[in-house]
Structure 1
Amino acid sequence: ADTTDEIAEGLIAEIREAAERVKDIYEVRWEFHTFRGDPYNGLVTAADELKADAVVVGASEQAGHRIVGSVAIRLVKAGRWPVTVVP
Protein backbone atom coordinates (compact mmCIF):
# COMPACT_ATOMS: atom_id res chain seq x y z
CA ALA A 1 0.00 0.00 0.00
CA ASP A 2 2.82 2.42 0.81
CA THR A 3 4.53 1.74 -2.51
CA THR A 4 1.26 2.23 -4.38
CA ASP A 5 0.71 5.54 -2.59
CA GLU A 6 4.23 6.69 -3.48
CA ILE A 7 3.73 5.78 -7.14
CA ALA A 8 0.38 7.58 -7.18
CA GLU A 9 1.92 10.72 -5.65
CA GLY A 10 4.68 10.65 -8.28
CA LEU A 11 2.15 10.34 -11.08
CA ILE A 12 0.06 13.18 -9.69
CA ALA A 13 3.15 15.41 -9.61
CA GLU A 14 4.01 14.52 -13.23
CA ILE A 15 0.46 15.20 -14.44
CA ARG A 16 0.33 18.49 -12.55
CA GLU A 17 3.65 19.60 -14.11
CA ALA A 18 2.53 18.60 -17.62
CA ALA A 19 -0.80 20.41 -17.24
CA GLU A 20 1.03 23.51 -16.00
CA ARG A 21 3.33 23.48 -19.06
CA VAL A 22 0.40 23.52 -21.51
CA LYS A 23 -2.02 25.74 -19.57
CA ASP A 24 -1.50 28.71 -21.92
CA ILE A 25 -2.11 26.53 -24.98
CA TYR A 26 -4.81 24.08 -23.88
CA GLU A 27 -7.38 24.03 -21.15
CA VAL A 28 -6.65 20.70 -19.50
CA ARG A 29 -9.09 19.27 -16.98
CA TRP A 30 -7.82 16.22 -15.17
CA GLU A 31 -8.64 14.09 -12.20
CA PHE A 32 -6.57 11.35 -10.63
CA HIS A 33 -8.29 8.34 -9.06
CA THR A 34 -6.81 5.19 -7.59
CA PHE A 35 -8.61 1.89 -7.14
CA ARG A 36 -7.21 -1.14 -5.39
CA GLY A 37 -7.70 -4.62 -6.78
CA ASP A 38 -8.38 -5.88 -10.27
CA PRO A 39 -7.51 -3.23 -12.90
CA TYR A 40 -10.47 -4.15 -15.11
CA ASN A 41 -13.00 -3.71 -12.31
CA GLY A 42 -11.32 -0.47 -11.22
CA LEU A 43 -11.53 0.98 -14.72
CA VAL A 44 -15.15 -0.12 -15.13
CA THR A 45 -16.03 1.44 -11.78
CA ALA A 46 -14.23 4.67 -12.66
CA ALA A 47 -15.78 4.89 -16.12
CA ASP A 48 -19.25 4.31 -14.71
CA GLU A 49 -18.87 6.76 -11.80
CA LEU A 50 -17.38 9.46 -14.03
CA LYS A 51 -19.86 8.79 -16.85
CA ALA A 52 -16.94 8.41 -19.24
CA ASP A 53 -17.43 8.96 -22.94
CA ALA A 54 -14.45 6.71 -23.72
CA VAL A 55 -11.66 4.74 -22.05
CA VAL A 56 -7.97 4.95 -23.00
CA VAL A 57 -5.63 2.20 -21.78
CA GLY A 58 -2.12 1.02 -22.50
CA ALA A 59 -1.49 -2.25 -24.33
CA SER A 60 -0.32 -5.14 -22.17
CA GLU A 61 3.19 -6.43 -22.73
CA GLN A 62 2.67 -9.66 -20.80
CA ALA A 63 2.62 -12.82 -22.90
CA GLY A 64 -0.02 -14.49 -20.71
CA HIS A 65 -2.54 -11.81 -21.61
CA ARG A 66 -2.61 -13.08 -25.17
CA ILE A 67 -4.17 -16.27 -23.82
CA VAL A 68 -6.29 -15.05 -20.90
CA GLY A 69 -7.06 -11.59 -22.30
CA SER A 70 -5.71 -8.22 -21.31
CA VAL A 71 -7.58 -5.49 -19.50
CA ALA A 72 -7.88 -3.66 -22.83
CA ILE A 73 -9.43 -6.68 -24.55
CA ARG A 74 -11.86 -7.19 -21.67
CA LEU A 75 -12.90 -3.52 -21.88
CA VAL A 76 -13.41 -3.75 -25.64
CA LYS A 77 -15.49 -6.92 -25.25
CA ALA A 78 -17.62 -5.24 -22.57
CA GLY A 79 -18.71 -2.82 -25.30
CA ARG A 80 -19.86 -0.15 -22.87
CA TRP A 81 -17.58 2.64 -24.13
CA PRO A 82 -15.28 3.27 -27.06
CA VAL A 83 -11.86 1.97 -26.02
CA THR A 84 -8.56 3.26 -27.38
CA VAL A 85 -5.52 1.07 -26.76
CA VAL A 86 -2.15 2.81 -26.94
CA PRO A 87 1.24 1.09 -27.11
Structure 2
Amino acid sequence: ALKKAKIAEKPITERFRVVLPYSIHSDFERELRKAGGEIITAEYGDKVELVYDTPVAQKAILEEQLANISRGEIKVERINLE
Protein backbone atom coordinates (compact mmCIF):
# COMPACT_ATOMS: atom_id res chain seq x y z
CA ALA A 1 0.00 0.00 0.00
CA LEU A 2 2.82 2.41 0.79
CA LYS A 3 4.42 1.79 -2.59
CA LYS A 4 1.24 3.02 -4.29
CA ALA A 5 0.88 6.08 -2.06
CA LYS A 6 1.56 9.34 -3.83
CA ILE A 7 3.65 12.04 -2.23
CA ALA A 8 2.11 15.49 -2.46
CA GLU A 9 4.71 18.19 -2.79
CA LYS A 10 3.89 21.57 -1.31
CA PRO A 11 5.92 24.53 -2.55
CA ILE A 12 7.85 26.69 -0.09
CA THR A 13 5.75 29.77 0.60
CA GLU A 14 6.06 33.19 2.19
CA ARG A 15 3.27 35.05 3.99
CA PHE A 16 2.27 38.63 3.23
CA ARG A 17 -0.29 41.25 4.26
CA VAL A 18 -1.74 43.80 1.87
CA VAL A 19 -4.49 46.42 2.13
CA LEU A 20 -6.38 46.96 -1.12
CA PRO A 21 -9.19 49.15 -2.35
CA TYR A 22 -12.27 47.18 -3.37
CA SER A 23 -11.74 48.32 -6.97
CA ILE A 24 -8.72 46.00 -7.42
CA HIS A 25 -9.58 43.27 -4.91
CA SER A 26 -10.94 40.76 -7.44
CA ASP A 27 -8.04 41.40 -9.86
CA PHE A 28 -5.55 40.76 -7.07
CA GLU A 29 -7.29 37.53 -6.01
CA ARG A 30 -7.26 36.31 -9.62
CA GLU A 31 -3.52 36.97 -9.96
CA LEU A 32 -2.85 35.35 -6.58
CA ARG A 33 -4.66 32.17 -7.64
CA LYS A 34 -2.79 32.12 -10.98
CA ALA A 35 0.49 32.30 -9.03
CA GLY A 36 -0.53 29.38 -6.82
CA GLY A 37 -1.15 31.58 -3.79
CA GLU A 38 -3.74 31.16 -1.07
CA ILE A 39 -5.66 33.69 1.02
CA ILE A 40 -5.27 32.95 4.74
CA THR A 41 -7.50 35.72 6.15
CA ALA A 42 -9.60 38.51 4.70
CA GLU A 43 -11.04 41.50 6.57
CA TYR A 44 -13.51 43.80 4.88
CA GLY A 45 -13.87 47.40 6.05
CA ASP A 46 -13.22 50.66 4.22
CA LYS A 47 -10.66 48.60 2.30
CA VAL A 48 -9.83 44.90 2.05
CA GLU A 49 -6.98 43.56 4.18
CA LEU A 50 -5.64 40.21 3.03
CA VAL A 51 -3.09 37.89 4.56
CA TYR A 52 -1.91 35.41 1.97
CA ASP A 53 0.72 32.82 1.21
CA THR A 54 2.46 32.70 -2.13
CA PRO A 55 5.06 30.26 -3.46
CA VAL A 56 8.55 31.73 -3.20
CA ALA A 57 9.16 30.87 -6.86
CA GLN A 58 6.17 33.02 -7.91
CA LYS A 59 6.73 35.97 -5.56
CA ALA A 60 8.44 38.30 -8.05
CA ILE A 61 5.83 37.64 -10.74
CA LEU A 62 2.99 38.31 -8.30
CA GLU A 63 4.65 41.51 -7.05
CA GLU A 64 4.97 42.73 -10.64
CA GLN A 65 1.31 41.96 -11.34
CA LEU A 66 0.24 43.74 -8.14
CA ALA A 67 2.29 46.80 -9.10
CA ASN A 68 0.58 46.82 -12.52
CA ILE A 69 -2.90 46.42 -11.04
CA SER A 70 -2.40 49.07 -8.35
CA ARG A 71 -0.21 51.43 -10.37
CA GLY A 72 2.39 51.10 -7.62
CA GLU A 73 0.12 52.48 -4.88
CA ILE A 74 -0.16 49.30 -2.77
CA LYS A 75 2.33 48.33 -0.06
CA VAL A 76 2.87 44.64 0.59
CA GLU A 77 4.23 43.66 4.01
CA ARG A 78 6.06 40.36 4.54
CA ILE A 79 5.01 38.52 7.69
CA ASN A 80 7.66 36.47 9.47
CA LEU A 81 6.28 33.13 10.62
CA GLU A 82 9.23 32.30 12.87
TM-score by length of 2: 0.31
Between structures 1 and 2, the one with greater strand share? 2
Between structures 1 and 2, the one with greater helix share? 1
